[in-house]
C-alpha cells in the first residue's frame, strides 16, 4: 500500500500501520485519514481570516495571568458564534473556558494559552498558541461531524501559564480526567532556539522542558533612622542582598542544566530609613522534579542564612510548582507524520537543551500529553521573553505558521480518536517510568 501512496504520505501510513501487515481495517483507516486531512485543511483555510482577527486582537491587548478578560470574551464569543456551547469562567477560574464537541468514545483536550508578560506583552507568543489550538479544535470537530467519528473533543482555556500555574489549578479542579486519551498544544519558537541548523525544520514534536519551583520570599526587619540610630534597625534589604549573594555563590556548585533566578520586587523606600521589609521572587529549575526538590532545599538554606545573619524574619510564599514536561513518543511520532503529510518537516527528538518550564508539564504527569513547538520567523539573537519576539508573534507569517501547526494538531487528535492502537500506545508511553 505504501508504494501507491503519494510520497509525502509514506511516513504517515507507516505510523498508522505500525509497520505491520495490511489488514482491511488498516486500509480503511488510511483512507479515512486521508479524507479527514482534507476536511481539516479546508476547515482551517476557510477560517483563517476570522482566526487572524482573534490572533491580532489578543496580540494588541496583552493581559497578564488571571486578568485575561479581553481574551476570554474574544475567544468565547467567536466559539459561540460558530455554534458551540461554551462554558465561560470554567472550573472556578474567571478567565478559563471550556467547549466540547462529540459524545462517547475517547476524550482529547486542546489547551489554549492566552496570557502575556508584564510590560513586554506577548513575548512568549501565547496569542499564537490560542490561535493554533482554536484552529485545531474547530477543524477536528468538523472532521468528526463529516466522518461521524465517535469521541469527544474539548477546547480548554488555560489562563496564567506565565507563573500563575493555571493548568495546575485546572488539574486540581478536575479539568483533565484521568481517562483523557491525549492533551495537546504547541508553542511558537524561533528556529535557532530549537535547532543547530535553523531552516531545516518547521517544528519540534518532542519538546522537553524542565521542572520549576516558583516562590516569593519576604524579609521582615525593623525600621530606624539610617544616620541617627542605625543600631536600632534590622535591615531587611541586607537580608535580601545576602540571600541573593549566597545563591550566587551556590551557582558554582550546581549542575550545568540547573537554573536559579531572582528579582527584588520590593527593596525599601528611602535611603535614610533602615528598610524593614523586602520581597524577592525566585525560580529554581532542574530537569526533573526530584532534582528540583533537592536544589530547592539548597537554595532555601542560602536564603535562610541571609535572614539569620541580619536578624530578619523569613517567610516563603509558594506558587504552583511546574513539573518537568514528559515526552510521549507515540503522540510525537504521529504528529510528525501528520505534519510531513502537509509538507512541514518536524524533528521528533529534541536536539538542543531547553531550560524553560511550563505548567503543561503538570498535565503530562496526569494524562498522555503532546506539547510541541512550531517555528516562526525571527532574526538570530531574538528569543522568547524578549520584546522583539513579541513583534515577531504579531506578524502574518507567524499566523500562517500557527495555522499550519493547528492542522497537524487536529490530525493528531483525530488519529487518537480513530486509531485504537495509537491510543493504546500513547497510554503505554504515559505509564512508562521516566
User: If residue 189 lies in a helix (H) or strand (E), which one and from where to where?
Assistant: strand 182-190
At 374, list the grid cell: 512550531
- The closest alpha carbon to 14, from 414, 410, 415, belongs to 415
Cα–Cα distance measured from residue 154 to residue 91, given in angstroms and rounded to the nearest whole number: 14
Cα–Cα distance measured from residue 203 to residue 347, given in angstroms and rounded to the nearest whole number: 6
User: In which band, very low, low, confident or very high, does the pLDDT at 13 lie, cut at 50, 70 and 90?
Assistant: low
Taking only the tens place, the pLDDT of each residue in 173-219 is 999 999 999 999 999 999 999 999 988 999 999 999 999 999 999 99
Given a cut of 50, whether residue 63 has pLDDT beyond it is yes
Taking only the tens place, the pLDDT of each residue in 353-405 is 889 999 999 999 999 999 999 999 999 989 999 999 999 999 999 999 999 99
Give the pLDDT of residue 21. 46
pLDDT > 70 fraction of the chain, expressed in percent and rounded:
94
DSSP lists the bridge partners of residue 322 as 212
DSSP lists the bridge partners of residue 163 as none
- The closest alpha carbon to 144, from 50, 32, 24, belongs to 32
Given a cut of 50, whether residue 9 has pLDDT beyond it is no
User: In which band, very low, low, confident or very high, does the pLDDT at 12 lie, cut at 50, 70 and 90?
Assistant: low
Given a cut of 90, whether residue 417 has pLDDT beyond it is yes
Amino acid at each position: 500500500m505504501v508504494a501507491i501512496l503519494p510520497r509525502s504520505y509514506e511516513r504517515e501510513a507507516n505510523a498508522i500501520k505500525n509497520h505491520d501487515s495490511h489488514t482491511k481495517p488498516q486500509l480503511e483507516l488510511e483512507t479515512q485519514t486521508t479524507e479527514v486531512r482534507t476536511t481539516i485543511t479546508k476547515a482551517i483555510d476557510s477560517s483563517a481570516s476570522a482566526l487572524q482577527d482573534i490572533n491580532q486582537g489578543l496580540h494588541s491587548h496583552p493581559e497578564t495571568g488571571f486578568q485575561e478578560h479581553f481574551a476570554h470574551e474574544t475567544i468565547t464569543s467567536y466559539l459561540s458564534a460558530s455554534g458551540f456551547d461554551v462554558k465561560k469562567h470554567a472550573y472556578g477560574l474567571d478567565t478559563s473556558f471550556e467547549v466540547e464537541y462529540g459524545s462517547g468514545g475517547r476524550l482529547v483536550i486542546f489547551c489554549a494559552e492566552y496570557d502575556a508578560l508584564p510590560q513586554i506583552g506577548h513575548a512568549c507568543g501565547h496569542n499564537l498558541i490560542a490561535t493554533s489550538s482554536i484552529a485545531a479544535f474547530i477543524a477536528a470537530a468538523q472532521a468528526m461531524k463529516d466522518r461521524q467519528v465517535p469521541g469527544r473533543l474539548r477546547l480548554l482555556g488555560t489562563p496564567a501559564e506565565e507563573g500563575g500555574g493555571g493548568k495546575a489549578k485546572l488539574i486540581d479542579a478536575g479539568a483533565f480526567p484521568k481517562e483523557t486519551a491525549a492533551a495537546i498544544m504547541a508553542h511558537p519558537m524561533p528556529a535557532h532556539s530549537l535547532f543547530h541548523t535553523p531552516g531545516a525544520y518547521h517544528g519540534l514534536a518532542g519538546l522537553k522542558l524542565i521542572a520549576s519551583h516558583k516562590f516569593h520570599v519576604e524579609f521582615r526587619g525593623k525600621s530606624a533612622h539610617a544616620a541617627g540610630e542605625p543600631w536600632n534597625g534590622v535591615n531587611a534589604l541586607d537580608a535580601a542582598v545576602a540571600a541573593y549573594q549566597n545563591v550566587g555563590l551556590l551557582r558554582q556548585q550546581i549542575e550545568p542544566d540547573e537554573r536559579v533566578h531572582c528579582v527584588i520586587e520590593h527593596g525599601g523606600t528611602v535611603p535614610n530609613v533602615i528598610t524593614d521589609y523586602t520581597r524577592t521572587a525566585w525560580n529554581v529549575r532542574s530537569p526533573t522534579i526530584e532534582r528540583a526538590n533537592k536544589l530547592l532545599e539548597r537554595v532555601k538554606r542560602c536564603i535562610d542564612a541571609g535572614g539569620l545573619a541580619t536578624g530578619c524574619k523569613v517567610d516563603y510564599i509558594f506558587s504552583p510548582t511546574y513539573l518537568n514536561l514528559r515526552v510521549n513518543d507515540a503522540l510525537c511520532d504521529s504528529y510528525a507524520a501528520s505534519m510531513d503529510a502537509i509538507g512541514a518537516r518536524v524533528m521528533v527528538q529534541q536536539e538542543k537543551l531547553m531550560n524553560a518550564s511550563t505548567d503543561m508539564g503538570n498535565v503530562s504527569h496526569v494524562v498522555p500529553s503532546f506539547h510541541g513547538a512550531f517555528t516562526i520567523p525571527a532574526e538570530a539573537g531574538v528569543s522568547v521573553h524578549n520584546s522583539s519576539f513579541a513583534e515577531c508573534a504579531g506578524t502574518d507569517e507567524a499566523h500562517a505558521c500557527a495555522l499550519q501547526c493547528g492542522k497537524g494538531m487536529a490530525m493528531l487528535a483525530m488519529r487518537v480518536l480513530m486509531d485504537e492502537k495509537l491510543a493504546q500506545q500513547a497510554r503505554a508511553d504515559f505509564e512508562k517510568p521516566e
